């Protein structure tokens, strides 16, 4: 298993439970230390509408030139960025969006159910909240557009119910101070939230106890081509380089997957979409939401993680840049104060940014790719936490020669 983010770690777990001997290689000292580290925490089937949809282009144009824009495209002399952008435009066609929503909802429903089973079986605690997700809207036109997407998702079996402002405040009273901003919402009772990194580390511990070998602080330098099969993986732990061999290799390297696949002649449409988060420690007794909240206009989510509030989101297409931009950090806090003016916090916010492994459609790449023994589980974009368990279980089925349940465009089928 190449990569110990939430996707690689869940894959290692399901594969080991199916009887495979698994070794996980990752350059970080612990599991879940890169993009899975401080994400928005939402298990959000209700977030199945991809960024690529018929309404996104006017919004991107409206935000052009704004340093704090929810979606910010920075042009680079990078053919991969251009190719990705052109494919993104194609995915904005209504038929493509509909097809992508259907695939994501199918996998996400399966994934959420599997997460619930796993949590119960292993008694995992990762600051989870099971009070649903409330999408709020502050713009009438966007609310009207969202109603259409909500209808589509209901058609695929999701309980995403449209609610008025009063009902929003009943569902999450901590929004009372934002009453005048809101125009409506929709509520998915069955959605959840929780700390993805805590989950990943807890599951990695269980996996190690069940026999999975984790090789941390070990960088993957090359996947070696051996004709129609992969011959091995060249890794380096800082002291020596080594060729690791296995029956099968799974690439779960998040945004870095394309870099290791390109020398094999495999070009996948994954591009890093940088997102930000701020984690606020709540003062005792502070008003703060328990229901996870999605602010559609600013592309932000708010998740309660124990005595912390995580605010996360926005996207910046700027290559592999991981610098924290103070303007974008400040925008997170400003919006938090607008929506939750009564929030009381302690200490300074912990800012973070990570690179979502984004495909133009937001549909991840799961399945066999070109070589008999090479498998992908990558490209989960905005929904890697939501889709992790379902993707891992589907990958395990595919490797075991079985047909996964969700109706989804798995690779190599």
Ligand X SMILES: Cc1cc2nc3c(=O)[nH]c(=O)nc-3n(C[C@H](O)[C@H](O)[C@H](O)COP(=O)(O)OP(=O)(O)OC[C@H]3O[C@@H](n4cnc5c(N)ncnc54)[C@H](O)[C@@H]3O)c2cc1C
Which residues contribute to the site for ligand X (CB under 6 A)?
Answer: 3-8, 26-28, 33-36, 39-42, 44, 219-220, 252-254, 256, 275-277, 301, 312-313, 354, 356-357, 378, 380-386
Residues 278, 39: Cα–Cα separation, whole Å: 9
Q: Is the dihedral of CA 366, 374, 379, 29 positive or negative?
A: positive
- Determine how many CB atoms are found less than 10 A away from the CB of residue 302: 33
The residue (of 138 and 362) whose beta carbon lies closer to ligand X is 362
Q: Which of 156, 175, 31 is nearest to 102 (CA)?
A: 156
Question: Is 200 within 8 Å of 9 (Cβ atoms)?
Answer: yes
- For residue 63, give both structure tokens: 């935000």
3-state secondary structure of 110: helix
Please state, in angstroms and as integers, the Cα–Cα distance from residue 345 to each residue in 102, 288, 326, 340, following that order: 40, 10, 20, 11
For residues 165 and 382, which CB has a smaller minimum distance to ligand X in the complex?
Answer: 382
Nearer to ligand X, 35 or 53 (CB): 35
Instruction: Name the minimum Å distance from CB 216 to ligand X.
Output: 9
2 bridge partner residues: 25, 251
CA distances from 158 to 178, 188, 294 (A): 27, 8, 17
Rounded CA-CA distance 22/203 in Å is 14
User: Quick check: 89 and 185 in contact, CB under 8 A?
Assistant: no
Whole-angstrom distance, CA of residue 207 vs CA of residue 302: 30
For the CB of residue 389, give the shortest distance to ligand X in the complex, in Å: 11
Per-residue burial over 253-288, b = 16 or more CB atoms within 10 Å of its CB, e = otherwise = bbbbbbebbeebebebbbbbbbbbbbbbebeeebbb
User: How far apart are alpha carbons 297 and 275 in whole angstroms?
Assistant: 15
Q: Measured between alpha carbons, how far is 304 from 57 in angstroms, rounded to an integer? A: 31
Give the CA distances from residue 365 to residues 61, 234, 258, 331, 368, in Å, rounded to whole numbers and listed in that order. 29, 23, 12, 32, 9
Compare residues 96 and 382 and give the one whose CB is closer to ligand X.
Answer: 382
Considering the complex, state which of residue 7 and residue 339 has its C-beta at the smaller distance from ligand X. 7
Nearer to ligand X, 165 or 399 (CB): 399
- Closer by beta carbon to ligand X, 18 or else 30: 30
The dihedral sign for the CA sequence 356, 296, 66, 64: positive
Q: Least distance in Å: CB of 270 to ligand X?
A: 9
Closer Cβ to ligand X, 53 or 165, answer by number: 53
Output the smallest distance, CB 67 to ligand X, in A. Answer: 17
- Smallest distance, Å, CB 365 to ligand X? 10
Which lies closer to ligand X via its Cβ, residue 185 or residue 254? 254
CB of 8 to ligand X, least distance (A): 5
Q: Could you tell me the smallest distance in angstroms from the CB atom of residue 162 to ligand X?
A: 22
CB of 285 to ligand X, least distance (A): 26
Tell me whether residue 75 or residue 320 sits nearer to ligand X (CB atom). 320
Which DSSP state fits 290? S
DSSP E strand boundaries for 112-183: 133-137, 160-163
The residue (of 88 and 256) whose beta carbon lies closer to ligand X is: 256
Nearest distance in Å: CB 386, ligand X: 3
In angstroms, give the least distance from the CB of 151 to ligand X.
Answer: 23
């Amino acid at each position: 298993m190449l990569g110990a983010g939430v996707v690689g770690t869940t894959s290692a777990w399901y594969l080991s439970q199916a009887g495979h001997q698994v070794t996980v290689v990752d350059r970080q000292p612990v599991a879940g230390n890169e993009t899975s580290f401080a994400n928005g925490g939402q298990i959000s089937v209700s977030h199945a509408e991809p960024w690529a949809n018929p309404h996104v282009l006017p919004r991107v144009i409206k935000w052009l030139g704004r340093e704090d824009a929810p979606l910010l495209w920075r042009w680079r002399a990078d053919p991969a960025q251009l190719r990705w952008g052109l494919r993104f435009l194609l995915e904005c066609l209504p038929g493509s969006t509909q097809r992508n929503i259907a695939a994501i909802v199918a996998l996400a429903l399966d994934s959420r159910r599997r997460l619930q089973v796993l949590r119960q079986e292993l008694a995992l605690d990762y600051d989870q909240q099971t009070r649903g997700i409330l999408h709020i809207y502050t713009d009438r036109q966007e609310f009207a557009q969202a109603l259409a997407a909500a209808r589509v998702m209901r058609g695929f079996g999701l309980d995403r119910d449209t609610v008025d402002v009063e009902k929003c405040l009943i569902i999450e009273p901590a929004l009372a101070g934002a009453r005048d901003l809101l125009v409506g919402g929709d509520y998915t009772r069955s959605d959840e939230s929780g700390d993805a990194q805590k989950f990943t580390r807890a599951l990695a511990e269980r996996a190690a106890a069940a026999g999975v070998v984790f090789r941390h602080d070990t960088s993957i330098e090359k996947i070696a081509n051996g004709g129609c099969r992969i011959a091995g993986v060249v890794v380096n732990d800082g002291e020596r380089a080594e060729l690791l061999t296995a029956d099968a290799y799974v690439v779960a390297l998040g945004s870095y997957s394309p870099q290791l696949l390109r020398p094999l002649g495999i070009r996948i449409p994954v591009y890093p979409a940088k997102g930000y988060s701020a984690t606020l420690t709540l003062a005792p007794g502070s008003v703060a939401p328990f229901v996870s909240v999605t602010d559609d206009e600013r592309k932000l989510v708010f998740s309660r993680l124990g005595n912390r509030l995580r605010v996360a989101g926005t996207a910046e297409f700027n290559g592999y840049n991981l610098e924290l931009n103070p303007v974008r950090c400040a925008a997170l806090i400003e919006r938090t104060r607008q929506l939750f003016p009564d929030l009381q916090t302690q200490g300074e916010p912990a800012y973070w940014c990570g690179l979502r492994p984004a495909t133009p459609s937001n549909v991840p790449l799961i399945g066999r790719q070109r070589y008999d023994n090479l498998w992908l589980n990558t490209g989960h974009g905005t929904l890697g936490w939501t889709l992790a368990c379902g993707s891992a279980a589907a990958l395990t089925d595919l490797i075991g020669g079985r047909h996964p349940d969700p109706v989804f465009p798995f690779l190599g089928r």
